[in-house]
Amino acid sequence: MHEIELGVLALLGICVAGGIVGAWIFQKLKVPQVVGYIVIGVLIGDTGFGLLHPADIQALQPFNNFALGLIGFLVGGELSANIFKKYGKQFTAILIGEGIAAFLLVGVSCTLILYLVCNDWIISIAAGVVFGAIASATDPASTIDVLWEYRSAGVLTTAIVAIVALDDALAMTLYGLGTSVATILVQGGGESVFKTLMHTFIELGGAIVLGVACGFALDAMMKYLPQNEKRLGMSIGVLLVCIGLAVAFNMDLILATMAVGIVLINRAPNRSKKLFETVRSFSTPIYIIFFVLVGARLSLDNMPAWVWALVAAYVLMRSLGKWAGAYWGGRVSKADKSVKNYLGMAIFAQGGVAVGLSIVASHNLQHIQIIDGISLGDMIIFTVTATTLCVQLIGPAFAKLAITKAGEIGRNVTEEDIMAELKVADVVDTRIVPLLEGTPLETVVQHFAQQDTFVYPVVSNEGTIIGVLTFENLKELLNERDTWHWLLVGDVMQPLRHRLVSGMNLAEALEEMNNNQVESLPVVENEESGKLLGVLDIRAARRSVGAELVKRQTVS
């Protein structure tokens, strides 16, 4: 049987379609959609049906870089200077606390387990230091995806965004120290630490300088591009240049694109707000492909049994370190109660940065043998791959639990989001009494004088709606008072041309009213019965939507 080789477009199509199906299934199970993306990736990768091979994933690496760049850009767009002025000390304490705690707990536990396996303290400590450094990294992609999916907003959400954005820099610094220590222990050499640290700081500093330069360039170009579509195109172009240069010079591309977003949101907050919303809506299929590829990359074949003990210790100690370190940092910095108690569980996810660091570490430590047939480099790859799978599955669920406990779900909403959720029946005014077609006009004039309503539905004697009477109809008769006592509503009403159904989506209903240039329309129960329920007024509907928006955004 010949092996099926699918083209790139077919593979991308499978990723998007399969990812959406997986997300839908897991959302039905009350699990964040990102888990569905990753599980679909595992199923179509080598661990599953083998549709996506390692060579395919490697060929799509530039696509992954683009997705990570978009994530960095959008995360940077959340980090205005006001946030750091207000919470800077808290973020610093929490970042150091959760990073160092995960580093120490994972490093010590992995060292002890490996000593039991290889009975060599030098190799065990070297490996433990590397594992601890990798464990300090947090995956921004899946964590941020959960925040966006559940429209989270509040002090905890702000802290999560800042911590996952800054964790890359801390992880790379610890990794630089860790690999230097590991190299000194195994090979000797006194200059390794200084050289590695200098190299790490150059990479991080270069990424920031590159991102800031691209951010200023994009801000200058946006002044001359009033159309949102052109701004989107220019933004994607600048981001691609930034990502390409970061990759070419071995810089942290997430940090670089994050700097672009930070510059933009602080230089032109009003002008860039719409741009960030457009980029976020544009990037949905790109995120889906990225997470499916993450799952497809997770191959767990041929793993020795003792490595699973290492995996269990790594996951447990890393999670404990993240939670305890974040709690300590929040307590020391006197952070909000929700940040202190729940931030740690929101940053369990581990992804691209950890996998990338493990690949680099495996190359550097490939020649060191743990036991026969398994090198230190192979063991690091196996362990980090397995732990990434575990925490990518549990991390989003804990992130959702954290923002649920903090009461921040559903607070980052817009009027458009609320209108998309509501039905016409939710905001219809049922207090308006319809007019019978045989009612004298003199009586109706008093209705208009006493009520703040400019449109009345008109019904027949059988109760069926047959038209509407508006204030505009009456204006033509204001100077002919002698006709009021003998004219009836049916003589001056407008025949019914448009009406709304109670089950209609509110956003669609308001759009239809705008297209027909009417401010009020009668609402019926359904098309078949035609039973009148009331009147939908655009101004009243928008007031109801605004009140619901304030209610959802109010801190409980």
The candidate with the shortest Cα–Cα distance to 259, out of 217, 199, 219, 210, is 210
Range 418-553: architecture per CATH = Roll (3.10)
Question: What is residue 18's three-state secondary structure?
Answer: helix
Q: What is the pLDDT of residue 328?
A: 92
Burial, 83: exposed, middle or buried (Cβ in 10 Å; 0-12, 13-18, 19+)?
A: middle
- The one-digit pLDDT tens for each residue of the chain (556 residues) are 344 566 778 888 888 898 889 888 877 877 667 777 878 888 888 777 778 777 777 778 788 788 878 877 887 777 777 766 776 788 888 888 888 898 899 989 988 988 888 787 887 888 888 888 888 878 777 788 888 888 888 888 888 888 887 776 677 677 766 666 666 666 655 555 566 667 667 777 888 899 999 999 988 888 777 767 788 888 889 999 999 998 888 787 777 888 898 888 888 877 787 788 788 777 788 878 877 887 777 665 656 677 788 888 998 999 999 999 989 988 888 888 888 888 888 888 876 667 666 765 665 666 666 666 666 766 777 787 778 778 877 888 888 888 888 888 877 666 677 777 788 888 787 777 777 777 776 676 666 655 556 677 777 776 677 777 766 666 666 566 666 666 776 677 777 777 788 788 888 888 887 877 777 777 777 777 667 777 787 777 788 777 777 666 664 4
CATH class for the domain made up of 56-412: mainly alpha
pTM over 0.85? The answer is no
CA distances from 22 to 73, 291, 295, 394 (A): 26, 11, 12, 16
* Residues sharing a CB contact under 8 Å with residue 9, sequence separation 6 or more, in sequence order: none
In the chain, where are the structural domains located?
Answer: 56-412, 418-553
Q: What is the pLDDT of residue 240?
A: 93
CA dihedral 338, 341, 343, 348 (to 10 degrees): -150
